[in-house]
């Protein structure tokens, strides 16, 4: 995807996320936040020119849905564009410090995916606060990059 598309999706996901009760609707609240954060990481990677910003859609590592002239999408192998999750696929190129921090923040969020969404661990207020703080910081770092705040490399 391109940066503008990522930003639009972040805004929609954040609007959706705000409608959920973080504890009662944890799974939906969590997925909306995790997805928004992944879009933020992808936008930052594109802005840093670490990954390609293109109007293609990641399906699995290395495989993208590419728009065709007839309006359909076709699966194609492409250079690294969007990551599906932090670390999937692994980025071999150097990543600026602020983007690496965003990726680490998303790992903080994603550590709760399996236990709380797939394995039945009940989320508590501490988990909600940790996930929310990590996402807020991730989005702030993207905002800083968008606004030209100095970044380490």
- Which residues pair with residue 74 across a beta bridge? 66
Structural domain including 112 reads 3-146
Number of domain units in the chain: 1
In a domain, 43, yes or no: yes
| Residue 107 lies inside a defined structural domain of this protein | yes
98-138 tens-digit pLDDT: 999 999 999 999 999 999 999 999 999 999 999 999 999 99
Q: What's the pLDDT tens digit per position in 26-35?
A: 999 999 999 9
Q: Are 25 and 31 in contact (CB under 8 A)?
A: no
Residue 151 within any structural domain of the chain: no
> Residue 124 to residues 55, 112, 118, 149: CA-CA distances in angstroms?
38, 11, 15, 35
Distance CA 103, CA 34 (A): 11
User: Residue 151: its pLDDT value, please?
Assistant: 57
Of 4-13, 70-79, 107-116, 118-127, the one with minimum mean pLDDT is 70-79
Task: Specify burial of residue 100 (Cβ count, 10 A radius: 0-12, 13-18, 19+).
Answer: middle
Q: Do the domain assignments include residue 152?
A: no
Identify the pLDDT of residue 133: 98
- Given a contact cutoff of 8 angstroms between Cβ atoms, the answer to whether 33 and 22 are in contact is no
In a domain, 101, yes or no: yes
Q: Please indicate, yes or no, if residue 153 is contained in any of the structural domains.
A: no
Looking at every residue in the chain, the average pLDDT score rounds to 92
pLDDT at 69: 94
Task: Tell me the whole-structure pTM to 2 decimals.
Answer: 0.90
């Amino acid at each position: 995807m391109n940066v503008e598309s990522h930003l639009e999706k972040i805004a929609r996901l954040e609007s959706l996320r705000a409608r959920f009760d973080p504890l009662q609707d944890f799974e939906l609240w969590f997925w909306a936040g995790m997805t928004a954060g992944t879009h933020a990481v992808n936008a930052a990677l594109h802005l840093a020119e670490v990954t390609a910003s293109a109007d293609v859609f990641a399906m699995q590592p290395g495989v993208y849905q590419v728009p065709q002239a007839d309006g359909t999408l076709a699966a194609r192998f492409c250079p690294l564009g969007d990551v599906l999750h932090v670390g999937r696929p692994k980025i071999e190129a150097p990543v600026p410090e602020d983007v690496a921090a965003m990726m680490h923040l998303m790992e903080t969020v994603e550590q709760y995916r399996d236990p709380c969404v797939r394995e039945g661990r009940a989320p508590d207020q501490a988990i909600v606060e940790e996930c929310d703080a990590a996402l807020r910081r991730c989005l702030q770092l993207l905002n800083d990059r968008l606004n030209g705040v100095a970044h380490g490399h």
